[in-house]
Copies of this chain bind each other. A is one copy, B any other.
């Protein structure tokens, strides 16, 4: 299948490679060209502009850092929405706002293009291994049609409805849950440390009884070890997603005190110079408050 793929960051690199391995023809674009060129040796064609990656593609996949980057590619300097063919499909896999997803749905409809929102759960290693969890929403027959693409990138694809922004809301809410897991583990581990109990014992109990879940294992180990590097998911990105969630919650008139608490934690973490650490480094703020 002829696929335009825009965005070759930590996540996009692995995802696009898995599509190439699955036999698809990719035209890739990345703002920092060197990352795109690395893909060239692996079989991709490198585009000089977003438009070039879009023209003639049956499917356009975008995997960018944030709303601004995607907006820029689709509507502004990149203007991919103009170069995308009628009846082509845009599969938007970035973690973006519900608002932008709604705007994309509308704009594509006006251009007689199709639109699927398909954000993912998983860190870069899962992207590389084709083990992402994909949350898709959009026209049912199209999701089915492009199922093989999802299968190449993820271990499981959920279909959550026909209204695309629903997938983005679920993605943001999933990240919200993970942020609260980080905070609650950090508070519990601070308590263990100050009470003289080995936090690894605490994590051993949790992850082998009620919480045998990846997030508990990954973050519990990092927080218990008080080691937040290398960053699998950088703190400012976690902060951004929290902001997008709070915006969606405000629009729907839903007070979310835990999300507000996380907002404050992210602000404090940035005030304390943790912008390059993994987002689980909000635990450092928790530890500091406890005098650790």
Contact = CB atoms under 8 A, between A and B. Distances in A.
Interface in A145-167: 156, 158, 160-161, 163, 166
Contact of A254 (B191, B205, B256): B191
Interface stretch (A36-44, A78-86, A170-178): A170-178
Interface size class of A (residues with CB under 8 A): 35 or more
Interface string A248-288: 11101111111111011101101111000000000001001
Interface of A: 98, 121, 133, 135, 156, 158, 160-161, 163, 166, 169-170, 173-174, 176-178, 180-181, 183-185, 187-188, 190-192, 194-198, 201-202, 204-206, 208-216, 248-250, 252-261, 263-265, 267-268, 270-273, 285, 288-291
A8 B272 CA distance: 44
A27 B180 CA distance: 45
A290 to B, nearest CB: 4
Given A185-B177, A254-B187, A121 B209 contact: yes
A156 B205 CA distance: 10
Contacts of A212: 212-213
Contacts of A174: 205-206, 209-210
B169 A177 contact: no
A267 B288 contact: no
B206 A177 contact: yes
Given A170-B192, A180-B180, A255-B290, 15 more contacts: A133-B205, A156-B209, A160-B202, A161-B201, A166-B195, A169-B192, A170-B202, A177-B185, A187-B254, A187-B257, A187-B259, A190-B254, A249-B267, A253-B270, A268-B289
Nearest to A171: B205
18 contacts: A160-B197, A163-B196, A176-B184, A177-B206, A180-B184, A181-B181, A191-B248, A191-B249, A250-B267, A255-B265, A255-B268, A257-B264, A258-B258, A260-B260, A268-B290, A268-B291, A271-B289, A288-B288
Contacts of A208: 133, 156, 158
A191 B256 contact: yes
Contacts of A213: 210-213, 216
A194 B184 CA distance: 26
A286 to B, nearest CB: 8
Given A173-B191, A180-B184, A192-B173, A198 B161 contact: yes
Given A174-B205, A264-B256, A197 B169 contact: yes
A158 B204 contact: yes
A158 B158 CA distance: 36
Nearest to A202: B170
A132 B287 CA distance: 32
